Amino acid sequence: MGGGHNILSPLANVSADTSLEWVAPFLEDSLAWGRAGWGGHAAGTYVAHVNPLPAFTADEGAAAQAAFRRQPEFALAHGGSSIVNHPDNMEEIITFLRILSIPSRLMNDRHG
């Protein structure tokens, strides 16, 4: 498969090939993430996972960075960005994830 583009192509260097390259590590790593206690979601060009286990909350994010090493490397290599956050409480996570969600008013019409 080659070529292709979407609405984000001019902004994030996204093509059919880079999309497949982005998805492959998720397929390869998601079982290990689940077994290690990670949970969350990925959609399009982002991933948001959290892990409440002490091994991941007591090290200031070092284990999280190791577990998700391939995704930030890929994003940075293709002109994207990466944030590995170590929030102190669940409220910080919920506040952050609200930013990633779409407002319901955009989905409450006959088209959405």
pLDDT computed for residue 78 by the predictor: 80
Q: With H, G, I as helix, E, B as strand and everything else as coil, classify residue 82.
A: coil
Under 8 Å between Cβ of 45 and 80 = yes
Question: Tokens standing for 35?
Answer: 């077994």
Q: Is the pTM here over 0.75, yes or no?
A: no
- Reported as a single tens digit per residue, the pLDDT across 2-42 is 333 344 444 455 677 887 888 888 888 888 888 888 887 77
Does residue 99 register a pLDDT over 80?
A: no
- Reported as a single tens digit per residue, the pLDDT across 54-80 is 666 677 778 877 888 888 888 888 887
Q: How far apart are CA 112 and CA 109, in angstroms?
A: 6
pLDDT computed for residue 45 by the predictor: 67
- Reported as a single tens digit per residue, the pLDDT across 34-60 is 888 888 777 766 677 777 676 666 777
Beta carbons within 8 Å of 61's beta carbon, 6+ residues apart: 84, 85, 86
